[in-house]
Amino acid sequence: MLNTDALARSAYANATAIAPQPRDNEYRAFAEATRRITDHAGRSDRFPQLAEAIYRNQKLWVMMAAGVADEANGLPPALRAQIFYLAEFVRTHSAKVLQETATPDILVEINTMMMRGLRPTAGAAA
C-alpha cells in the first residue's frame, strides 16, 4: 500500500530541491560574497581581488536595500528599516576598506548574521 503522505512529502522535497526558494538564493549570494572577502582580506598582494569582492558585496547590499525599500515587500517595517540601515553601513564601511583605513571584518560579520537569519536552525523552523 502506498503511503500518500510520504509520497507528497517526497514530491515536495524534490520540487524544492529543483526550484530553490528566494531565501536560498539570498543565502548563497551572501555565502559567496563572504567567501570572496575572507579569501582576500589581510593580504596586501591580493588587494585588487579584495576590492572586487567588496564591490560585489556592495552590489548585493544595494539589491537588498532596493528590495526592502519596495512597499510591496512583505517583511515587517522594522526589519526592513534595519536591513536598509545595514546596507547603508556596508556602503560607508566598504569605502573605508577600499581606502585601506578599515578592515573588512565587520562586513564578514554582518553577512554571516544575514546568512543565519536566512537559514534558521532546524529547531526554530519546527
Number of domains in the chain: 1
Residue 8 included in any domain: no
Residue 10 included in any domain: no
| Weakest-pLDDT range from 21-25, 77-81, 119-123 | 119-123
Average pLDDT over residues 22-39: 94
Range of 73's domain?
21-120
What residue spans of the chain are helical by DSSP H?
Answer: 4-18, 22-40, 47-69, 77-98, 105-118, 122-125
pLDDT value at residue 14: 47
Q: What is the pLDDT of residues 54-96, one digit of tens each?
A: 999 999 999 999 999 999 999 999 999 999 999 999 999 999 9
Residue 6 included in any domain: no
pLDDT value at residue 120: 64
pTM of the model: 0.77
Residue with cell string 558585496: 57
Residue 2 included in any domain: no
The one-character DSSP state at 121 is -
Residue 14 included in any domain: no
Residue 12 included in any domain: no
